[in-house]
Amino acid sequence: MNAIEIPLSAPDITDAEIEAVVSVLRTSRLSLGPKMEEFEAAMAGYVGAPHAIAVSSGTAGLHLALVALGIGPGNEVIVPSFAFIAVANAVRYVGAQPVFADIDPETLNLDPASVEAVVTPRTRALMAVHTFGRPAPMAALLDIARRHNLLVIEDACEAMGAEIDSRHVGTLGDAGVFAFYPNKQITTGEGGMVVASNSEVARRIAALRNHGRYKSAFGQPEIAPESTDSWLEHAELGFNYRLSEMQCALGLAQLTRIDAILARREAIARRYCDLLRDEPHLLLPPSSIAGQRLSWFVFVIRLAPAFSRADRDHLMHTLTERGIATGRYFAPIHLQPAYAAWCESTHLPMTESVAARTLALPFFNRISEEQMECVGTALQSALRAEAQPLP
Catalytic residues: 184
**What span, in angstroms and rounded, lies between the C-alpha atoms of 253 and 188?**
10
Q: In DSSP terms, which residues pair with 303 in a beta bridge? A: 282
**What span, in angstroms and rounded, lies between the C-alpha atoms of 93 and 59?**
10
- List the Cα angle 95/100/101 in 5-degree steps: 145
Distances (CA, A) of 14 to 181, 183, 268, 269, 293: 16, 15, 19, 22, 26
**What span, in angstroms and rounded, lies between the C-alpha atoms of 356 and 314?**
12
Q: In DSSP terms, which residues pair with 78 in a beta bridge? A: 99, 126
- List the Cα angle 321/132/378 in 5-degree steps: 25
Q: 74 in the Ramachandran plot: left (φ > 0), alpha (ψ -120 to 50) or beta?
A: left
> Based on the number of CB atoms within 10 Å of its own CB, is 16 exposed (0-12), middle (13-18) or buried (19 or more)?
exposed
